[in-house]
A and B are shown apart, each in its own frame.
Chain A
Amino acid sequence: MVLDGLSLLAVTAGVLFFVSGTLGILRFPDVFSRLHALTKADGLGLGLIVLGLALQATSLAVIGKLALVWIVAALSGSTACYLMAHFELERAQEPHDRA
């Protein structure tokens, strides 16, 4: 029963991070702050949800796969955000696709 309680808590926290991340992206003024919001939602939100689900997992294989998914998602997420920030910093004032 305790495990269920913990999972509920972790998953709810994770979802809240996602929601706040999305709100951040909608409301923040420039790209960098949005990137900040994205990495938070990305890393922590998913991490908490994976943690919550891992508690429910019955077999070790499931936990292993959950961990793998989280690592890959977090890794590619943060790299992508780094590249975005890098690209934003260097980009001159004229965005190439201003409609």
Chain B
Amino acid sequence: MSAAVAWLIWLPLAAAVASFVAGAGRARRALGLAASVVMLLPALLVFEAVRRDGPQRYLVGWPAPLGIELRADLLSAALVLLTACVGLLVAAYASASLTDPPSQHAVDPPAAFWSLWLLLSAGLNALYLSTDLFNLYVALEMVTLSAIGLVSIPGTRATIGAALVYLLATLVGSLAFLFGVALLYGAHGTLELYELGRLLEGGPLAWSAMGLMTLGIMVKAAFFPLHFWLPDAHGHALPAVSALLSGLVVKGGFYLLVRVWFDAFPNVLLPSFGLALGLLALVGIVWASLHAVSEGRLKRLLAYSTVAQLGLMLLTVPLAIAGPGGGVGASITPGVEPGLALALSHGLAKAALFLSAGAFIHAAGSDALSELGGVARRLPLALLAFALAAWTLLGLPPSGGYEAKALFEQAAAVGPIPWQLVVQGGTLLTALYLGVALRAAFEPAAARKRLRAVPLALQIPPLLLAALAVGLGLLPLASGAP
């Protein structure tokens, strides 16, 4: 069923045009929701096809190296499915929370959410499926520009400032990535990822190209120490947008680093690269977690938590390098399962956290932790979602996070460096800052504070996401890879 791969690219783009052109705000919302629902089908079909009979190839037109090919292996199919699931539930939340003012401008900001979200999902699907490096560059630009558009929807000084810093940082990153691609084209005359993987050997050209591409990816994915733009961007955007950014966009960067390192530069990779990345991730986890604990605003706390969790996900790279390796054409890059499991559970859990935070803010009127008193009693469902998501991030059984931690244990046992200790340390720090957030919610409400009623439609999506995150643990992920 490889044609489903093509529908995954076509559907969001066509729906984005339809919702951009549609007149009334309601029509745009309906189109956006419908497309998000329909997108689940090809995502499931592709995931099923990959799980059953291995990676799927798809020719867009001409074969490589002239044309562009799409390829779905377990890593990309799982992340495409994550994009579809999280996207659908965030879309449901957004349709309940965004207003529909009468159309006064060429593009009314709240209505722009729908076409921006659909273009974002098209960019992410293209990022996960394409095997052509220049095509990946353009897909990255689509993801970045749609994320910037989404961040700047409210039009407040904080969001536009954050969007500007986000744009400038990622613009430099994408040019570094492009220069790396140019070097590889110069060396071997092809842009196909796996073909380059076979041809590339260590040497100044390969290392410079790898270095530039890695720098570009690190800026775009907000890996420590190039994450400076993320806390403001994810911290000030609309809750639904922060859920999309922290849940999905950051995974694109993680995926691209894994794909480029393990499939384009397998013979160039040295264990010292993995070690360097691991150490950077370690410092990043500690630094970001401490910032999260001392953060006064709920959404910025969750944004710093994203940076910390990204560090945890990165630890799978040194483990995979130290691991067995080999397995070209395997259903998934060997040794990357722990990172994928954590990416999936973090994607679901973090989106749930941001959406439930949105419900809290809607009730309390401000996202300062001090103002969140009494929210626990008024919004039981949203609090349950927050707690379940926190449960997953802490990796307590039976959640998806537990599954990821178990995979980390197995992998770390092989490698020389006890990375699993770092994972446990990271989990402890996660408990710290999530505890800070929960404690603020359980504070007794200040006397004169009047909490606003929150419609159910704002509490159901985070609950479903959190349930999915916990349910992920029941799914035998480890056996997913053949």
- Check whether chain A touches chain B (CB < 8 angstroms): no
B interface residue numbers (CB < 8 A to A): none
A interface residue numbers (CB < 8 A to B): none
